[in-house]
């Protein structure tokens, strides 16, 4: 599915370039400006380092943030989220990502404990195989749930969405089947009155969410390609802006890539 995703992305890029259109326009367009958050890879940071990372992200222009949870001690997670909420203030969009760390019961307990901190969503609370578990966490935990970076097809998302197991479907264009599958997943979410968000590959995904009326936040992933491409993602007032270059508009910086070769 990863290989198919890459081929599908390349073919959509080719089609858009032949049409002389940026990809988001070829996909129907909606709004080139997409709400965007910085995804931190920060589970092991001290609270001081976490807040320093946060200040750096605010200085870079982000107006929404995601942090990791899933420390061995739930109390540590609560303390970190509480510190972040206190630092950012009420109303600032803050998400938390558990990367499948918990059992269903642990996730329900964590979600209930995190309720006072007004998370936009809690992400991947448990293994992606457990659809009924996600449904229980969502209904019993009382916090919106994001999931999907480890689902691998339109049909996986159909099973999650139709079971009421996810609040924010979160496809990754590089592993869900490419642009074709991502857009079908986004439309499926729309038909269920759900927002769609994204995982990874933000330089391409900004086009896809820019073509979705039900788009939520674009994830600006912690593992970005900024050093290896000519035009890194542009942020304006906390919004990512889809580029107007034809196709997906990504061009490798070959000198930057050459620096990777030992
Ligand atoms: Mg995640």
DSSP character string of 42-72: -TTS-HHHHHHHHHHHHHTT-S-EEEE---S
Neighbours of ion ligand 1 (CB under 5 A): 97, 123
Q: What pLDDT is stored for residue 225 in this prediction?
A: 87
And the tokens for 107? 């996730």
The per-residue pLDDT for 260 is 86
In the prediction, which pLDDT does 99 show? 98
Q: For the domain bounded by 2-258, which CATH number is listed?
A: 3.20.20.120
Supply the pLDDT for residue 262: 83
The set of long-range contacts for 221-230, using a CB threshold of 8 Å and a minimum separation of 24, is 221/39, 222/38, 222/39, 222/40, 222/41, 223/41, 225/250, 227/253, 227/256, 227/259, 228/252, 228/253, 228/256, 228/257, 228/260, 229/203, 229/253, 229/256
Q: What pLDDT does 239 receive? A: 97
Ligand 1 centre distance from Cα of residue 63 (Å): 18
Predicted pLDDT at 172? 98
Q: What is the pLDDT of residue 193?
A: 98
Ligand 1 mean position, distance from CA 250 (Å) = 23
DSSP 84: H
Query: Ligand 1 mean position to 135 CA, how many Å?
Result: 18
Find how far residue 55's CA is from the centre of its chain: 20
Given a cut of 50, the residues of the chain with pLDDT beneath it are none
Domain ranges of the chain: 2-258
Question: What pLDDT was estimated at residue 222?
Answer: 79
List residues bridging with 34 in a β-sheet. Answer: 240
Q: Which residues are catalytic?
A: 68, 199
What distance in Å separates the CA atoms of residue 245 and residue 247, rounded to the nearest whole number?
A: 6
Q: Would you call 208 helix, strand, or coil by DSSP?
A: helix
pLDDT value, residue 223: 80
Q: Ligand 1: distance of its center to the CA of 67 in Å?
A: 10
């Amino acid at each position: 599915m990863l290989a198919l995703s890459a081929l599908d992305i390349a073919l959509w890029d080719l089609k858009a370039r032949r049409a002389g259109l940026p990809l988001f326009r070829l996909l129907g367009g909606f709004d080139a400006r997409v709400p965007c958050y910085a995804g931190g890879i920060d589970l092991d940071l001290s609270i001081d380092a976490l807040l320093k990372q946060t200040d750096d992200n605010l200085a870079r222009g982000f107006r929404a943030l995601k942090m990791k949870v899933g420390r061995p001690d739930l109390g540590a997670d609560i303390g970190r989220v509480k510190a972040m909420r206190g630092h950012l203030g009420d109303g600032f969009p803050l998400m938390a990502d558990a990367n499948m760390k918990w059992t269903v019961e642990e996730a329900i307990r964590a979600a209930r404990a995190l309720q006072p901190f007004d998370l936009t969503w809690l992400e991947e609370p448990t293994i992606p195989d457990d659809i009924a578990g996600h449904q229980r966490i969502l209904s019993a935990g009382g916090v919106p749930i994001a999931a999907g970076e480890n689902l691998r097809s339109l049909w996986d998302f159909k099973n999650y969405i139709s079971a009421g197991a996810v609040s924010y479907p979160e496809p990754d264009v590089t592993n869900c089947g490419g642009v074709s599958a991502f857009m079908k997943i986004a439309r499926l979410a729309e038909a269920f009155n759900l927002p769609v968000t994204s995982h990874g590959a933000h330089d391409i995904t900004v086009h896809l969410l820019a073509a979705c009326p039900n788009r939520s936040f674009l994830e600006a992933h912690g593992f970005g390609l900024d050093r290896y491409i000519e035009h890194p993602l542009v942020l304006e007032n906390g919004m990512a802006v889809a580029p107007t270059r034809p196709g997906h508009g990504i061009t490798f910086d070959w000198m930057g890539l050459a620096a990777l070769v030992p």
